[in-house]
């Protein structure tokens, strides 16, 4: 068990090392670093001074290790455009993205599992079929279109929810949150639905098909033969067994939610890191892009690690060291 | 046959509508089980043994459904009960043991919890009492160091031990009847006997009736008091086990008995086992008359046209034209 975690940890470190290398390469291949920093009419002397200061005359390997070392200390360089340290900019924007991602992940998870279980249990019911059919819309409509549709209906026509921004925020222990104010809560509804709709339908369809599979197994039949209540069978036995494979997908999807927040943040002008990234791309602000890449990469690695640990919590068969056959 | 039997199955018919026609895997099957009696149900694969068992506790997989006949438990009709009413029958009055102990238990729940949740569903007791009950149930089925095994998960048990746990689960509600569907087929031969003896002892002690579904004549001989022979969804013969095994009258039963190896004979003879020629007819191509007649060694003209009805013959009840006119 311990060896398992250690192994996963090193795998994660390897992945981050590779992601770090790609991020590092961006500095050399996207745009000209001298031009980016010094401007077009810099002298050769200026260039040499800069080369010395940034260590660009050292071997690639040394430069890469230095980059990694800095990144580990939270040192990501200075934005070309604003001249502010990137770590500061990210820290300022991150709470908005994390709040949006968590709210939409919870929305996707709860509604997805609930509807998935419902449609599996009442597989031939009218409502279940209706839900399944409408879920196709969620799977096939692109995110920006859903966002624009929601804005049109709820912000323009009905005028009940704001169409952009985060609303009022308050600072709690250094964390700027929009979840503590009425306008902040109202503002997060549309972006969260937009961001989580695809994941919600995905979770729902996955839970449904897994659950149908589990409901056919012998132990469910035996649970019925033992005279347990429908509730105990469906939620105590079937759902728990259903969630095992679903957790993997949900973990990956949570990473997707954060990574794809870019589009939703753009549509709703949500002041998170996604919007920061898009603006950075427009101005070829490489330090921000590289940092964003590292950030998303680390998130995926951490989420995968958590998913692996969750497996062990849910499935007793994995609690052994893997040395015993059964 | 007694009229105050524990379980009365009367003309039970199960049908499965399919696109190619309606299948009738169980056709007008009738038998009784008394308290404390072990009744074997035997037949080839596809004879309708398991479906009969499922039909009795209302666990037929749709689209299969009961099309006719009745099932009565202590005088109370249970074959037309709905799911809610059946819940109080299953586990509490009729316990079930399935064929494969490896897949009968929820892999993600400790066996102690599976036992106590079953106990709490039927016995109106609290969590602590249910746990005590679970412990006692494990001790009763001979799980060594039961106390420390309560929190173990199914994968930590061997096949034989798991089937003991399944039996403990079937008995924890103190049912009057156990339906055991091939309880030892998935087990090692050496473990089979242990599990069968355990089931037999527990049921005799508690005066529980058992419907033991099997295709193994050896299991029938060792365990049962009476035996019901099914062929193509119909009852071929019902009688005392000893009677059926030693002096079977129906040619099919004779064939089954003849196809079972006898260790004492086997040792000193090179004789081949008898086998029944051919295979059981498919449910869509049932022959006219007696369903067994294409394979029967003593087939007569009447067999090809007329379905034999069950009639009393010495100590058995048989559906066969053979010798019928002589006895009536």
Instruction: Answer whether A217 sits within 8 Å of B155, measured CB to CB.
Output: no
* DSSP string computed for B58-80: T-PPTT-EEEEEEEEETTEE-TT
pTM metric for this prediction? 0.76
Report the C-alpha gap between A102 and A192 in whole angstroms.
Answer: 9
Q: Decide if pLDDT at B263 tops 70.
A: no
Q: Does A221 touch chain B (CB under 8 A)?
A: yes
CB pairs under 8 A between A and B: 81
Instruction: Answer whether A218 sits within 8 Å of B100, measured CB to CB.
Output: yes
Query: What pLDDT, on a 0 to 100 scale, did the predictor assign at position B323?
Result: 66
Query: What pLDDT, on a 0 to 100 scale, did the predictor assign at position B39?
Result: 92
Instruction: Answer whether B117 sits within 8 Å of A316, measured CB to CB.
Output: no
Q: Residue B49: which pLDDT band, with cuts at 50, 70 and 90?
A: confident
Instruction: Answer whether A236 sits within 8 Å of B117, measured CB to CB.
Output: yes
Neighboring chain A residues of B89 at a CB cutoff of 8 Å: 227
User: How far apart are the CA of B27 and the nearest CA of chain A, in angstroms?
Assistant: 23
Q: Are the C-beta atoms of B88 and A227 separated by less than 8 Å?
A: yes
Instruction: Answer whether A227 sits within 8 Å of B107, measured CB to CB.
Output: no
The DSSP call for residue B150 is T
Report the C-alpha gap between B43 and B45 in whole angstroms.
Answer: 7
Report the C-alpha gap between A258 and A252 in whole angstroms.
Answer: 10
Average of pLDDT values for B9-36?
Answer: 87
Report the C-alpha gap between B13 and B235 in whole angstroms.
Answer: 12
| CATH architecture of the domain covering B7-232 | 3-Layer(aba) Sandwich (3.40)
Share of chain B above pLDDT 90, in %: 3
pLDDT digits (tens, 9 = 90+) for A113-154: 999 989 988 888 888 888 888 888 777 888 788 888 888 888
Q: Are the C-beta atoms of B323 and B249 separated by less than 8 Å?
A: yes
Angle between helices A182-215 and A239-259 (to 10 degrees): 140
Give first-to-last CA distance, chain B, whole Å: 19
Instruction: Answer whether A326 sits within 8 Å of B155, measured CB to CB.
Output: yes
Q: Does A316 touch chain B (CB under 8 A)?
A: yes
Query: What pLDDT, on a 0 to 100 scale, did the predictor assign at position B311?
Result: 80
Report the C-alpha gap between B88 and B79 in whole angstroms.
Answer: 13
Query: Which of B53, B96, B98, B107 is best to mutate for the A interface (most A CBs within 10 A)?
Result: B107
pLDDT digits (tens, 9 = 90+) for A216-227: 888 898 888 888
Average pLDDT over chain B reads 84
Neighboring chain B residues of A315 at a CB cutoff of 8 Å: 107-108
Report the C-alpha gap between B203 and B6 in whole angstroms.
Answer: 14
Query: What pLDDT, on a 0 to 100 scale, did the predictor assign at position A323?
Result: 41
> Which residues, 6+ apart, have CB-to-CB distance to A19 below 8 Å?
A293, A294, A297, A298
Query: What pLDDT, on a 0 to 100 scale, did the predictor assign at position B270?
Result: 62
Per-residue pLDDT 10s for chain A (326 aa) are: 677 778 888 888 898 889 888 888 887 777 666 776 677 777 788 778 777 776 777 777 888 888 888 888 877 777 777 778 888 888 888 888 888 888 998 898 899 999 998 998 888 888 888 888 888 877 788 878 888 888 888 888 887 788 777 777 777 776 777 776 777 788 888 888 888 888 888 889 899 999 988 888 888 988 888 888 888 888 888 888 888 878 878 877 888 888 778 888 888 888 888 888 888 888 778 888 888 888 888 888 888 888 888 877 777 777 654 444 33
Q: Decide if pLDDT at B327 tops 50.
A: no
Neighboring chain A residues of B173 at a CB cutoff of 8 Å: 226-227
Average of pLDDT values for B227-235?
Answer: 88
Query: What pLDDT, on a 0 to 100 scale, did the predictor assign at position B211?
Result: 92
**What is the DSSP pairing of strand B226-231 with strand B38-42?**
parallel
Is the CA virtual torsion B133, B135, B137, B139 positive or negative? Answer: negative
Q: Chain B interface residues facing chain A, Cβ-Cβ under 8 Å?
A: 57, 59, 83, 86-92, 96, 98, 100, 103-110, 117-118, 121-122, 153, 155-156, 166, 169-170, 173
Nearest CA in chain B to A228: B121
Report the C-alpha gap between B8 and B72 in whole angstroms.
Answer: 5
Average of pLDDT values for B27-31?
Answer: 88
CA distances from B190 to B156, B193, B194, B196 (A): 20, 6, 7, 11
User: How far apart are the CA of B186 and the nearest CA of chain A, in angstroms?
Assistant: 14
Query: What pLDDT, on a 0 to 100 scale, did the predictor assign at position B232?
Result: 86
CATH, range A86-212+245-284: 1.10.3720.10
Other Cβ atoms within 10 Å of A147 Cβ, number: 24
CA angle A19, A23, A28 (to 5 degrees): 140
Q: Residue B324: which pLDDT band, with cuts at 50, 70 and 90?
A: low
Query: What pLDDT, on a 0 to 100 scale, did the predictor assign at position B309?
Result: 81
């Amino acid at each position: 068990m311990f060896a398992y975690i250690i192994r996963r940890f090193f795998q994660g470190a390897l992945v981050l090392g590779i992601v770090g290398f790609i991020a590092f390469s961006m500095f050399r291949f996207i745009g000209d670093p001298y031009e980016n920093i010094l401007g077009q009419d810099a002298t050769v002397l200026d260039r040499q001074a800069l080369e010395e200061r940034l260590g660009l005359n050292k071997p690639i390997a040394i430069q890469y290790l230095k980059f990694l070392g800095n990144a580990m200390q939270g040192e990501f360089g200075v934005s070309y455009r604003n001249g502010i340290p990137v770590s500061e900019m990210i820290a300022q924007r991150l709470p908005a993205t994390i709040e949006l991602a968590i709210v939409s992940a919870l929305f996707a998870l709860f509604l997805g599992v609930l509807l998935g279980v419902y449609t599996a249990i009442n597989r031939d019911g009218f409502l279940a079929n209706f839900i399944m059919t409408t879920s196709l819309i969620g799977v096939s409509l692109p995110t920006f279109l859903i966002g624009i549709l929601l804005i049109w209906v709820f912000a323009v026509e009905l005028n009940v929810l704001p169409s952009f921004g985060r609303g009022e925020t308050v600072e709690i222990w250094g964390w700027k949150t929009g979840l503590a104010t009425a306008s902040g809560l109202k503002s997060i509804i549309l972006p969260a639905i937009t961001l989580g709709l695809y994941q919600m339908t995905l979770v729902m369809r996955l839970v449904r098909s897994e659950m149908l599979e589990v409901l056919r197994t012998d132990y469910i039949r035996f649970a019925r033969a033992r005279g347990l209540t429908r509730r105990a069978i469906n939620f105590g036995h079937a759902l728990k067994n259903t969630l095992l494979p679903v957790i993997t997908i949900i973990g990956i999807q949570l990473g997707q939610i954060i990574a794809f927040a870019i589009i939703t943040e753009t549509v709703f002008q949500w002041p998170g890191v996604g919007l920061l990234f898009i603006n950075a791309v427009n101005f070829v602000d490489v330090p921000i892009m590289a940092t964003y890449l590292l950030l998303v990469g680390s998130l995926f690695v951490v989420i995968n690690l958590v998913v692996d640990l969750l497996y062990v919590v849910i499935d007793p068969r994995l609690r052994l060291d893997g040395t015993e056959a059964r | 046959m007694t009229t105050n039997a524990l379980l009365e199955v009367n003309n039970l018919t199960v049908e499965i509508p399919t696109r190619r026609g309606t299948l009738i895997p169980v056709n007008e099957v009738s038998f009784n089980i008394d308290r404390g009696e072990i009744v074997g149900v035997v037949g080839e694969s596809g004879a309708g043994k398991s479906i009969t068992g499922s039909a009795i506790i209302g666990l037929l997989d749709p689209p299969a459904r009961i099309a006719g006949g009745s099932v009565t438990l202590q005088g109370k009709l249970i074959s037309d009960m709905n799911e809610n009413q059946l819940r109080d029958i299953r586990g509490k009055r009729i316990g079930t043991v399935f064929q494969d102990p490896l897949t009968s238990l929820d892999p993600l729940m400790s066996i102690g919890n599976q036992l106590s949740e079953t106990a709490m569903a039927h016995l109106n007791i609290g969590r602590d009492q249910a746990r005590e009950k679970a412990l006692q149930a494990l001790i009763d089925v001979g799980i060594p160091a039961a106390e420390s095994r309560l929190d173990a998960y199914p994968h930590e048990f061997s096949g034989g031990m798991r089937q003991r746990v399944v039996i403990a689960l079937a008995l924890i509600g103190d049912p009057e009847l156990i339906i055991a569907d091939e309880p030892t087929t998935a087990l090692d031969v050496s473990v089979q006997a242990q599990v069968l003896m355990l089931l037999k002892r527990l049921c005799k002690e508690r005066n529980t009736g058992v419907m033991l579904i099997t295709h193994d004549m050896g299991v029938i001989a060792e365990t049962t008091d009476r035996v019901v022979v099914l062929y193509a969804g119909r009852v071929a013969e019902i009688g005392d086990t000893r009677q059926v095994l030693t002096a079977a009258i129906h040619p099919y039963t004779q064939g089954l008995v003849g196809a079972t190896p006898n260790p004492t004979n086997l040792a000193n003879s090179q004789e081949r086992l008898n086998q029944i020629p051919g295979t059981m007819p498919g449910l869509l191509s049932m022959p006219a008359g007696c369903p067994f007649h294409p394979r029967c060694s003593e087939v007569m003209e009447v067999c090809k046209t007329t379905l034999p009805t069950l009639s009393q013959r010495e100590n058995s009840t048989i559906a066969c034209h053979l010798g019928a006119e002589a006895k009536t």
